[in-house]
Structure 1
Amino acid sequence: MARNNRFALCAAAALVSSLTLGQAAIAAPTYKLEKVAEFDHQVTGVTASESGRMFVNFPRWTEDTETSVAELLPNGDLKPFPDASWNAWRNARQDSMTPGAHWVCVQSVVADKRGSLWVIDAGAPAQAQVVPGAPKLVQIDLASNRVAKVYPFGPDIAPQGSYLNDVRLSPDGKFAYITDSGTSGAIVVLDLETGKARRALDGAPSTQFEKGVMVKVDGKPLRRPDGRGVQFSADGIALSADGGTLYWQAVKGNTLYSIDTAALRSANLAELSGKVHTVGENGPADGLLLDAEGRLYISSVEDHSIKVRQGSEVKVLLQDKDMRWPDTFTQGPDGTVYVTDSRIPDMSFYNPKQGPALETTLYKITAKD
């Protein structure tokens, strides 16, 4: 799936140290994208472990794929992760496979920097019907490269129409927070000790796509042949360093929201909407990354840019038209920020002339020479 040896992970010496210099460092677009890897399938998620191991995932949106979750090796090759068996699901042979023990439609991978990789499987190939028994959060121990625990989600948590999208883990390792970008957006709160989950802000205005917002690319509405536009609900997610505040927004939306996680975990579900805070407007965005300095990186999908929010101020960090749809961020142990380009506008969903396969890219952000 990766183009063997065409692009390798870049040396740790190429740091993005200037990203930690504070407000003045983002005053002008003095950064650029550097290609790290190119894939023969549509990539969405990327993550880096505390030791620098890199992982990516390929959802089954417009085509089946032999490898759904992979480790990206230093030479640019992909290694099915945690093994070939977990990657053995095929849409045409699903009746003979257990969806709870295979990757069905993985949307996100997140390393918790404490020795585990967490994988979100929405279980809905082509963003359509949820395969019964497929939605799950899986913890993989990176020391042994073996699955440590599977948290399955039944139809009460991942109903038809849902699409579990991204996850953040609390610093104490007790809770997971997951966005549902499906037709009825929500925030799923999972107690990792008990395995119990609750579907919070289900149908609330803050987790839905915003009416009246039309996602555009290069100034033109992005629509399917039948006229439907982008309709992703709660999608990008970020968690403060102390675990006390959760942030999220819809792709089809301008607004960034937040809530105290204590309320999200314990408050009466009917009262939660009143505890949501409006942070400000980012414009339509996909992935979010909150760094240790409190800067929020925003994948701005309409204008091929990466933006940074610091407090109430949002500025363009870089812009590059070769990046068709900035998707997911991760930050390596050396401070380097990486972003995937999932090229959503070029999918056959929106461009019927495009075949099911789609070549996509992983970039890193570097300072301009």
Structure 2
Amino acid sequence: MPKQTVNARNSFVLLALFVLVCSGGCATYPISHDKAVPVARGALFEYPYFHDQLTGIAVSGQGRIFVNFPRWDKDPLYSVAEVLPDGSLRPYPDHGWNRWGGDEAAHPEAHFICVQSVFVDHSDFLWILDPASPGFKGVVQGGAKLVKVNLKTDQVERVIPFAPSAAPHESYLNDVRIDPEGNFAFITDSGSGAIVVVDLESGKARRLLSSHPSTRAEPGYVPVIEGKELRNEDGTVPKVHADGIALDSRREYLYYHALVGRTLYRIKTSFLKDPSLPEKELGSHVERVADTGAADGMLMDAQGNLYLTILEENAVKRYRPSEPTLTTIIQGGLHWPDSLAISPDNYLYVTDSEINLAPRFNHGKDLRILPYKFYKAWLMPFSHDGLLPP
């Protein structure tokens, strides 16, 4: 299959767009001197020329970049790819896993069907979440799975399939976070609303909070993106349930957010991991954290800063649990900021999926702008005495 190539010099286009770090405008220096708060410095870098709509992004401890392309309204060239230093895409982990549409249907557990997200854990393993629902038309039987890849060998190390009890036909598993020490995975279901908790030792998955309002789209809420209400062709508001997810650095709390919703929630992971806890009691432990507006991707850094992609402002914001405020980190030039990743050299990466410009939200007219892109901005750490040197 031909490679999708990007000229390396053109891949890193410096936009004349400076990053907002406060609601009042551009700032060079932080207001606070708390060493746990990074701020964005300089401009936003653009990585263009993706011919397929991308959603997820992950960066390894070695700086390797991985992206994924869901099978929504067309077949992508690859479902998962590594972005090589010269800008070309390498099907990952190989061509075989990225084949779908022919005889591969006989082995849905061994091929990517509709990958929604990728995530690199603290042990530098790549996890690939495949909800296996192409075009949101229902889960392909035997296809929903979580795939673990060893980045040292580039080999699939494990495949965890999901039974209908964990991923029913109408589900759409969306994003995943891994607790390698506790040996658990936490997954949001944006299709029917739930948190799926996977015991990585046994491979058993439990579907939790499926009837709790925290995992459901909020009734009566209509996101307004780029001046337009987000509605389906028939005028209804899409019911996109639990979507963004983040695990704090101590793995004590799981944060999550319905996409069509204003509210950020969290719950202690100890409650989620306790199989003896009745569902009703589990729901009583859910905590309302903040009103953020519609959010898609979420990511917690090692210092406890929570980053969220805020759709109605086409922005990336930072929330600090110790200081209940939202600070704008990136804004402008984005069309539906989606997933987030942080690299070892402290760059914040964000994909730009243009979901609101798709035909389903524009009376059948495709308003998406090619090429698709992801961006990065450097997060400057600083000490109590001021900014740290670059």
Equivalent of 1:269 in 279, 290, 315: 279
1:330 maps to 341
For 1:244-255, list aligned pairs within 5 A.
Answer: 244-255=252-263
- Greater Rg over alpha carbons, structure: 2
- Counterpart residue number, 1:175: 184
Which of 236, 239, 242 is 2:244 aligned to?
236
Identity between Structure 1 and Structure 2 (%): 42
Between the aligned partners of 2:258 and 2:7, the Cα distance in structure 1 is: 36
Counterpart in the other structure of 2:313: 303
- The answer to whether the aligner puts 1:208 opposite 2:216 as a matched pair is yes
Displacement of 1:10: 9.0
1:60 maps onto 2:68 in alignment: no
Task: Give the equivalent residue in structure 1 for 2:202.
Answer: 194
Provide the secondary structure at the position in 2 that maps to 1:327.
strand
**Alignment partner, residue 75 of structure 1:** 86
What secondary structure sits across from 1:117 in the alignment? strand
CA positional deviation for 1:173:
5.3
Q: Please report how far the alpha carbon of residue 155 of structure 1 lies from its aligned counterpart in structure 2 after TM superposition.
A: 0.6
Q: Indicate the residue corresponding to 1:153 in structure 2.
A: 162
Aligned to 1:286, the other structure's residue is in SS state strand
- Shift in Å at residue 202 of structure 1? 1.1
Check conservation: 2:348, 2:379, Cα contact below 8 A: no
* Structure 1 stretch displaced more, 303-312 or 19-28: 19-28
Quote the offset at 1:308 in angstroms.
1.1
CA distance 1:173–1:40, change in 2 (3 Å): farther
Contact residue 38 and residue 379 of structure 2 kept, 8 A: no
Report the CA distance shift for 1:81/1:164 in structure 2 as closer, same or farther (over 3 A).
Answer: same
Post-superposition Cα deviations, 1:338-357, rounded to whole Å, max 9, x if no partner, equal 00000001112223221899
Is the partner of 1:263 in helix, strand or coil? helix
Q: 1:295 to 1:315 in 2, by over 3 A?
A: same
- In structure 2, the residue matched to 1:137 is 146
Task: Tell me if the contact between 1:9 and 1:75 (Cα under 8 Å) persists in the aligned partners.
Answer: no
Q: Secondary structure at the match of 1:59?
A: coil
Match of 1:313 in 2: 325
Aligned to 2:299: 289
Are 2:113 and 1:104 aligned? Answer: yes
1:171 deviates by: 4.1
* 1:101 alignment partner AA: A
**Alpha-carbon distance in structure 1 between the residues aligned to 2:171 and 2:340:** 23
Partner Cα distance (1:340, 1:263) in 2: 32
Q: Count matched residues.
A: 359
1:34 corresponds in structure 2 to 45
Cα displacement string for residues 195-240 of structure 1 (whole angstroms, at most 9, x for unaligned residues): 1110011121000010111011123202222113232100000001
Name 1:353's counterpart in structure 2. Answer: 365
In the superposition, relative to structure 1, how do residues 199 and 27 fare at CA in structure 2: closer, same or farther (>3 Å)? closer
Q: Secondary structure at the match of 2:272?
A: helix
Residue matched to 1:89: 100
Q: Which moved more, 1:20-29 or 1:283-292?
A: 20-29
**324 and 337 in structure 1: CA distance in 2 versus 1, 3 angstrom threshold:** same
Q: Distance in 2 between matches of 1:28 and 1:4?
A: 30
TM-score when normalising by structure 2: 0.86
Aligned CA distance change for structure 1 residues 62 and 210 (closer, same or farther; 3 Å):
same
Q: Could you list the runs of 5+ residues in structure 2 that have no partner in the other structure?
A: 20-26, 381-390
- Give the distance between the partners of 1:161 and 1:287, measured in 2 at CA: 21
What is the distance in 2 between the residues matched to 1:274 and 1:367?
36
Query: Per-residue deviation at 1:36?
Result: 2.3
Equivalents in 2 of 1:244, 1:143: separation in Å? 29
Q: Are residues 38 and 228 of structure 1, via their aligned partners in 2, closer, same or farther at CA, if it must alter by over 3 Å? A: farther
Distance 1:31 1:259 in 2: 35
Amino acid at match of 2:251: G
> What is the deviation of 1:271?
1.4
What's the Cα RMSD here? 2.6
Tell me if the contact between 1:37 and 1:76 (Cα under 8 Å) persists in the aligned partners: no
Gaps of 5+ in 1: none
Give 1:27 deviation, angstroms. Answer: 11
| C-alpha separation in 2, matches of 1:19 and 1:45 | 30
Q: TM-score, normalised by structure 1?
A: 0.91
Q: Aligned pair in 2 of structure 1 residues 10, 175: CA closer, same or farther (>3 Å)? A: farther
Task: String of CA shifts for 1:176-198, please: whole Å, max 9, x gaps.
Answer: 0000001x200000010111110
Tell me if the contact between 2:255 and 2:266 (Cα under 8 Å) persists in the aligned partners: yes
One-letter amino acid matched to 2:279: L
1:48 corresponding residue in structure 2: 59
Matched, 1:128 2:140: no
| Alignment partner of 1:280 is 2:282 | no
1: CA distance between counterparts of 2:367 and 2:226?
Answer: 22
In 1, are the aligned partners of 2:249 and 2:303 still within 8 Å (CA)? no
Q: Distance in 2 between matches of 1:303 and 1:95?
A: 41
